[in-house]
Structure 1
Amino acid sequence: MSKKDKKQDIEQEKVETSQTETVEVDKQQAENQSVEEKLKDQVQQEKDKFLRLFAEFENYKKRTSRERIELFSTASEDVMKTLLPVLDDFERALSHIEEDKEAEELRKGVLLIYQKLINTLEQKGLKAIKIEKGDAFNADNHEAITQIPAPSEDLKGKIIDVIEKGYKLGDKVIRFPKVVIGQ
């Protein structure tokens, strides 16, 4: 072999070695990219899991906060319900005392206690439901005790008398007004 042939063979081997190394480097880069993509996918999945878990936790906090607020606002409902008959008794007593002219001092004392009770209950969220004679009867908002013949045509199907006031605690009705309606 001549020097020229040897040189060409060496050059040929270098080219083949270089090509082999290039192919191996390409394979390794492809493997690295594949591993990198897998890791990116795993990171993305973990981020999604984290975000979902975080969102669920935020929803849990909001829900428990709402439930706690609702519990506090209606916790006194039982107490209010038991005090409503006392309130009714005060109103009856005041209406009877007003008829007696000699009991002016008694009326003032009972009225003072009644106003104090009303103010205290209103501070705790109790509100009387406004209803008057002649209002239209609505079965969703009123409790009909009885029906009587209407004294006039325009009072048919309307409230003739309010037997017992209705009350709300916040936005919740704790006692519907009891009414008599015209037939």
Structure 2
Amino acid sequence: MSAENQDKQTELDETIIENSAAEAQAKTEELTPEEKLSGELAAEKDKFLRLFAEFENFKRRTAKERLELFKTANQEVLQAMLPVLDDFDRALVEIRKSEDETLLKGVELIHEKFKHTLTSKGLELVEVNVGDAFNADFAEAITQIPAPSEDLKGKIVDVLEKGYKLGDKIIRFPKVVTGQ
């Protein structure tokens, strides 16, 4: 609810309360003192319940906004770290080609620690494999090539870039090549 709508709702609530109070006051002029007091008590209870409900709605709304803020802040940081993770993956492929086992082991340890840290913050890999049917909801087709075999037509031929999701939301779609 926007601030303008909240202001209108608050004005409407105040008008209803004022009208209720005016009606109660008109009725109290004809009633006995006990009836007047019970009428005033009912009006105050009504006002209290409305105020309490408005406060509960405010608490719920601010809690929801706070959760959304934390999710989006975390998402931006994780998206900024994805290119670093991609660079680690490419570096590991090249280091495996060399014969330096110590360097390979060190980079693998750092890579695993980095992946574990991102995973602990909610980052998950979007699973797409060569041979899977292409689904535009879960992957982005960069290009199409003639299918190497008949069974790969309309399916994923190659995965160029991994995709990731945060919770249920995909923050980066996997980039794939499809068979035509």
TM-score by length of 2: 0.75
Provide the rounded CA distance (Å) in 2 between the counterparts of 1:165 and 1:180: 12
Provide the rounded CA distance (Å) in 2 between the counterparts of 1:174 and 1:86: 15
User: Quick check: 1:136 aligned with 2:133?
Assistant: yes
Task: Name the counterpart of 1:3.
Answer: none
2:144 to 144, 147, 166: 147
Task: Name the counterpart of 2:70.
Answer: 72
Task: Name the counterpart of 2:61.
Answer: 63
1:120 to 117, 120, 126: 117
Are the equivalent residues in 2 in contact too, given 1:126–1:167 (CA < 8 A)?
A: yes
Kindly provide the amino acid, as one letter, of the partner of residue 143 in structure 1.
E
Unaligned runs of 5+ in 2: 1-29
Provide the rounded CA distance (Å) in 2 between the counterparts of 1:46 and 1:149: 77
Kindly provide the amino acid, as one letter, of the partner of residue 75 in structure 2.
E
Identity score, percent: 66
Per the TM alignment, residue 130 of structure 1 is displaced from its structure 2 partner at its CA by 1.4
2:101 to 99, 104, 116: 104
Per the TM alignment, residue 70 of structure 1 is displaced from its structure 2 partner at its CA by 2.4
Provide the rounded CA distance (Å) in 2 between the counterparts of 1:49 and 1:155: 68
Are the equivalent residues in 2 in contact too, given 1:73–1:170 (CA < 8 A)?
A: no
Structure 1 residues 50 and 97: CA distance shift in structure 2, 3 A: same
Report how many residues are paired: 151
Provide the rounded CA distance (Å) in 2 between the counterparts of 1:52 and 1:152: 69
Per the TM alignment, residue 85 of structure 1 is displaced from its structure 2 partner at its CA by 0.7
Kindly provide the amino acid, as one letter, of the partner of residue 119 in structure 1.
H
Kindly provide the amino acid, as one letter, of the partner of residue 92 in structure 1.
R
Provide the rounded CA distance (Å) in 2 between the counterparts of 1:182 and 1:45: 72
TM-score by length of 1: 0.74
2:163 to 161, 166, 173: 166
User: Quick check: 1:178 aligned with 2:163?
Assistant: no
Instruction: Choose 1 or 2 for highest CA Rg.
Output: 1
Provide the rounded CA distance (Å) in 2 between the counterparts of 1:38 and 1:142: 70
Considering only aligned residues, what root-mean-square deviation do their CA atoms show, in Å?
Answer: 1.9
